[in-house]
Structure 1
Amino acid sequence: MTAPRSQRSALAWLRELAPLFLAGAALLAFWKLITVAANYPAFLLPAPESVAGRFLAALGDGTFARHLPATVAEVLLGFAAGGTLALLLGYLLARSHLAERLLSPYLVAAQATPILALAPLIALWFGSGLLSKVIICALICFFPIAVATMVGVRSVDGGLVEMAQSFGARRRQLLTTLEVPAALPQIFGGLRVGVTLAVVGAIVAEWAGGERGLGVLINLARGSLFDTPLLFATLAAIALLGVGLYVVVVLVERQVIGGRS
């Protein structure tokens, strides 16, 4: 007898996640060992249980509820804007060597410029509100998605394109039936990288100025509050946000590519 499909799926997820949980447990054990053996004061390195307690307290007293939605909004809007522009420009670069020669040096120069250096300037130009943070998130996630799109579109077999054109396929048909399906694995690879970078961009933008957000909460924890457990708890929340968004992209990828296969 074979197991039901739902049971097989659950077992597959368990096998996939088990190494992650084991690695996390080992990291927590090592962290606890350091705090006990070295006897660091809590303001330097709090124990895992202290951070966990502070995390739960921040959930209960509304601290995360005040700051997390702002960061999520910045990430999603910036990722949507940057991703859309990156997909369009990546396709243009893949199909136009002239556009690649003209734009590639500027794109590489923009990517090489640290976002931490750009953030104060963008905040100065556009203010410390939502717009500047969305721009920073869009900038930081733009490059990997654009490059992935360009590489994916160029990976299409030229012979298949010529064959389709010989049968009268138009540009739109080539795009929807040949180029996009072939480029999807690379595009989703860029989206996975881009969504995690968007989280980094939001935190950097909030450091540059703002009233709410997990980056602002980090500044409060290490500044006036001097609350190291809250600092660690906020870092954990940022990590969970990044992992959660990454998993969402992976699930969408499996649905889209799996549905086409």
Structure 2
Amino acid sequence: MTRRVLRDLLPVVAVATGFVVAWKLLVVIGGYPTFILPPPEVVASRLVAAWRDGTIEPHVATTLTEILLGFLIGSGLALVTGYALARSRLAERLLSPYLVAAQATPILALAPLIALWFGTGLASKVIICSLIVFFPIAVATMVGVRSVDRQLLEVGRVYRATPLQVLTRLEIPGALPLIFGGIRVGATLAVIGAIIGEWAGGESGLGVLINLARGSLFDTPLLFATLLTIAALGVALYWLILLVEHQLVGERG
């Protein structure tokens, strides 16, 4: 187990190290000032200082709350909708055009309207996160349920399995790999949704901190430190989903 973890982490560490080295070389060769492109050690120092003095912690808590609530609500609605679309051609014909139209509308354009309608508090951020994660999970659920082996479903009917038994013992296990593919995409999109919502209006959050760092504070190292924190949140959520997927799909496989 330990060897496998080390084997999986080694390429990640190698790429991260190469990125930092390339970043440092770019700063040195280009001679960029700190307010344009700060070197990695300055950003790391500013990140540590921001955590120590309490600058970044409340913003992380706000953004993480928005991400988790939006992801849970959006994915829950998407799972139900995706299953309905997979099992009902009528539902697919009625809902698909509107779902596609909603997905085609840039969330960046909708965010100011949502903030206007629901205020600049938590509700608007959760709605934006829910909207942005909904479509990929709904589509993945629909495709996953439809990909379940029809022969297995027929066997279930022959043995008079109840609809609940068909759902829990045949459809969900068979669709899980594809569903988790959509969930992984949705988890990373939830981070983007939270930041967009905070840009549209808010008093706290990493998106707000970005605006402060590049605006009134004019603190480019803090801006980079905030971006690294956002990236770390996205990676952590993605790995968490992978861990859950491994436990569920791996055991079934």
Gaps of 5+ in 2: none
Aligned length: 253
Which of 88, 97, 118 lines up with 1:96 in the alignment?
88
C-alpha distance in 2 between matches for 1:253 and 1:163 = 27
Which of 181, 204, 210 lines up with 1:189 in the alignment?
181
Worse-matched range after superposition: 156-165 or 118-127 = 156-165
2:76 maps to amino acid: T
C-alpha distance in 2 between matches for 1:66 and 1:152 = 39
1:172 maps to amino acid: L
**1:174 aligned onto 2:147:** no
Instruction: Give the structure 1 partner of residue 213 of structure 2.
Output: 221
Instruction: Give the structure 1 partner of residue 18 of structure 2.
Output: 26
Give the structure-1-normalised TM-score. 0.96
Which of 104, 110, 125 lines up with 2:117 in the alignment?
125
Superposition RMSD in Å: 0.7
1:260, distance to aligned residue in structure 2 (A)? 2.6
**1:231 aligned onto 2:223:** yes
Worse-matched range after superposition: 30-39 or 154-163 = 154-163
Q: Secondary structure at the match of 2:248?
A: helix
Q: Secondary structure at the match of 2:161?
A: coil
**Taking every aligned residue pair, what percent have the same amino acid on both sides?**
65
| Displaced runs of 4 or more, over 4 A | none
Q: Secondary structure at the match of 1:43?
A: coil
1:72, distance to aligned residue in structure 2 (A)? 0.4
1:223 maps to amino acid: G
1:254, distance to aligned residue in structure 2 (A)? 1.1
> In the TM superposition, what are the counterparts of 1:1-261 in structure 2 within 5 Å?
9-261=1-253
Give the structure-2-normalised TM-score. 0.99
